Amino acid sequence: MGNHKKTQEGVFIALFALSTLVVISLAIGFMSNTVNNLLAGQGQVMAGKQSYWLAYSGMEITSTNRFAGITADTNTYTLEGGTITTIGANVGAGKFNGSDITDEITSTGTIADGSRQLKWTLGNPSPAEYALFLKNSNSNKNTDWVEIDGIQSEMEMNGVCDQSKAEHTTYTLCNAGAADHEPPGAGHFNITYTVGSEAADYTVSFWVRPDFTTMQATSGAGNSATRCWLFGVTEADGVDKTQGIQIGIRTENGSADEGYLEFRYDNEKNVNAHFSENGSATQMTSNNWYHVAYYRTVSDYYGYAYLNGVYQGKYVDPSSFEADDIWRLGTDMDEPGPTQSENFGGLLDEVAVWKTALSEAQIQSLYIQGKSFDIVGNMGTNLVAYWNFDNNSNDQSGNNNHATIAGAAYTGF
């Protein structure tokens, strides 16, 4: 009996051990499947994350380098961990830095285990931020400019005889010999605005993004320089610029890479303030934004130039504006007609004109605060006109000196 009982116990223990092994095997199998599924799920998650970030990186590449002018064709970037594909579609009517943009951009990130896709539908920014794009290419010259003649009457100047001179008892005596003075009128006339008695100081400020590859060919026979004009005032016939002022950019030896500020006061005498290669001028390069400011004061009859808040130099400025003068942006004015010439190619924005000479600190604030600076709220005193070109040509100063756009187009930036 004792041996039979031990045999039964042995069989029971064996069966129990076997069942335990079966249970353990089943548990291990279940856990293995669970672990495998978990690892597979984790792999899918990691693959999804990697492909998603590739797709996101494609958007970053697009927005940084190809947001403007991206074609409808497939653009592929191959990386060690996968590929990025971006596609632009539905070219819209808007522009970015002067180039066509697309309304839709799709970016796909692909790795061995899968892919993810992102899609952007582009709309107008809010609030809208625009600049004016002047597209004067070498094959399409003299077509884009802006008329700002609305400020003619407000900027009209008058020479009032300097009564502090004892010999100036009549206008004839006051005027005698005035042409021999340098600057013209100094010592004989005090230049003031016809409305009110303000001294005829003025300031011009604007932002510019030049494209030197679109500037016109050489200016004048035997002249290796190329120039374009950004801001100008001249007589109605376009001939005599003695009383006016033109602000432009000049490149040396036909360079398409760099330029310097240039100012012209007298077309007949070719009196130019050429602020370049003199140790103090700031070089300008293509497709970069620059802030230009210029003021003239009759206390010394000098005009002072600034680029990005940095003083560039001064030159005698004999400007005296008349009611029928032509005021333009982005072009020169020559006879007959006058005819547009030496037009600017690039972006122009935030143009402002004051009947006062701004201080250096104010000019530097205009640059430091950037293109979104509130000119009306912070520098509205003696402000004659201000055009921000945010998809319209209205004068934001409240003086209703609205501009007229000729050929130029609005663009985001």
Q: Where exactly are the structural domains of the chain?
A: 1-35, 67-123, 131-156+194-411
Helix (H, G, I), strand (E, B) or coil at 181: coil
Provide the residue type at 187 as one letter.
G
pLDDT at 407 over 80: yes
Angstrom distance (rounded) from CA 404 to CA 394: 9
pLDDT in tens, 56-65: 676 666 665 4
Q: Tokens at residue 317, please?
A: 């400025």
Q: Pick from 330, 326, 310, 316: which is nearest to 249 by CA?
A: 330
Angstrom distance (rounded) from CA 49 to CA 55: 10
Domain 131-156+194-411 has CATH 2.60.120.200: yes
Read off the pTM: 0.70
Residue 131, CB-side half-sphere exposure with 13 Å CA sphere? 23
Tell which wins on pLDDT, 56 or 360: 360
Element at 151 (helix H, strand E)? none
Tell which wins on pLDDT, 44 or 294: 294
Chain centroid offset of residue 274 CA: 23
**Helix-, strand-, coil-residue percentages of the chain, each rounded to 5:** 25, 40, 40
Beta bridge partners of 291: 207
Angstrom distance (rounded) from CA 95 to CA 111: 34
pLDDT in tens, 170-195: 767 776 766 656 555 556 677 889 87
Angstrom distance (rounded) from CA 411 to CA 132: 6
The DSSP letter of residue 212 is: G
Q: How far are the Cα atoms of 130, 212, 228, 251, 330 from residue 137, in angstroms, in the given order? A: 21, 10, 12, 16, 13
Asked if 122 contacts 409 with a C-beta cutoff of 8 angstroms, the reply is no
Provide the residue type at 116 as one letter.
R
Angstrom distance (rounded) from CA 42 to CA 337: 75
Chain centroid offset of residue 126 CA: 18
pLDDT score of 277: 40
Q: Tokens at residue 248, please?
A: 């432009």
Angstrom distance (rounded) from CA 344 to CA 142: 8
Q: Tokens at residue 62, please?
A: 């697009």
pLDDT score of 202: 96
